[in-house]
Chain A
């Protein structure tokens, strides 16, 4: 009899625990939905082509602005990782593309203390207007690490927004450029579905 009661209590406890999990799961809102075309609608504000499913979603909330992106662990030794993101407020303050690029690279990955070299810089069309695309490589010979980065600056109203991808590798590692093509698809599919806070102020 005692054993039967124990079983009943155990089942009730498990059911209560599972229903608790279900409650948590259903109340958790995701900030995006998928469109029938396979694009992601983010907070009813942005639309873009997502990367393949092996990329994990990254959300960083800072100073009231939500920036988001995707990350993937690459095969190979540490620090083999690739991440890319959309940034509503990239480093710097200028509303001129070239000037903002100069300001941005003063602080981009500044914690890593890398020596950056710009490999390529060109004007591009992004977000329905003129943009600036910069490919750079940073190296840390002491830690034996390197990073290849591509940054695309574009405009949202008067303000500059940014997209960037970083691919970290050991210093003698090889970059996988197909990840940059996925990033390019993300950037060039990116659309604003409504005006920004600053445009409506």
Chain B
């Protein structure tokens, strides 16, 4: 998440916005955002429907898997990667998407 925070100005340059989604409750996320000095929105989804929607809800576990998803302005999912975010790959993809005019 700190990596995304470091890149906010670059995301802005490519007309992208970042959102974090977690199954933690709002109070926990507020504390976490404060401790990491995060300024972008974190969404609390304790009912986990977003996990089911993005297929990152491991069966029988109270957490989401780690997945990076880029959605363009038409609502089309254009990029999906699992595991720790590859920030350079994300930035290159956003740059390309922005040049195409398919602003995220």
Contact = CB atoms under 8 A, between A and B. Distances in A.
Q: Which has the most chain A C-beta neighbours within 10 Å: B2, B91, B92?
A: B2
Q: Which has the most chain B C-beta neighbours within 10 Å: A62, A64, A197?
A: A64
B24 to A, nearest CB: 19
A198 B5 contact: no
Contact of B86 (A63, A158, A198): A63
A195 to B, nearest CB: 14
Nearest to B86: A64
B86 A201 contact: no
Determine the interface band of chain A, counting residues with CB < 8 A from chain B: 10 to 19
Interface string B1-19: 0110110111000000000
Contact of A93 (B5, B88, B91): B5
A197 B86 CA distance: 13
A41 B89 CA distance: 25
Contacts of A123: none
Determine the interface band of chain B, counting residues with CB < 8 A from chain A: 10 to 19
A79 interface: no
A156 interface: no
Contacts of A91: 2
A64 B87 contact: yes
Contacts of A158: 9
Interface string A81-119: 000000001011110000000010010000000000000
Interface in A24-64: 62-64
Contacts, number: 32
The DSSP consensus for interface residues of chain A is: loop
Interface in B1-42: 2-3, 5-6, 8-10, 35, 37
B84 interface: yes
Given A198-B10, A201-B91, A201-B95, A92 B2 contact: yes
Contacts of A72: none
A159 interface: yes
Contacts of A198: 10, 91
B37 A92 contact: yes
Contacts of B3: 63, 89
A64 B87 CA distance: 8
B102 interface: no
Contacts of B2: 91-93
Closest 4 CB pairs of A and B: A93-B5, A93-B6, A64-B86, A63-B84
12 contacts: A62-B84, A63-B84, A64-B86, A64-B87, A64-B89, A89-B3, A91-B2, A93-B6, A94-B37, A159-B6, A198-B91, A201-B92
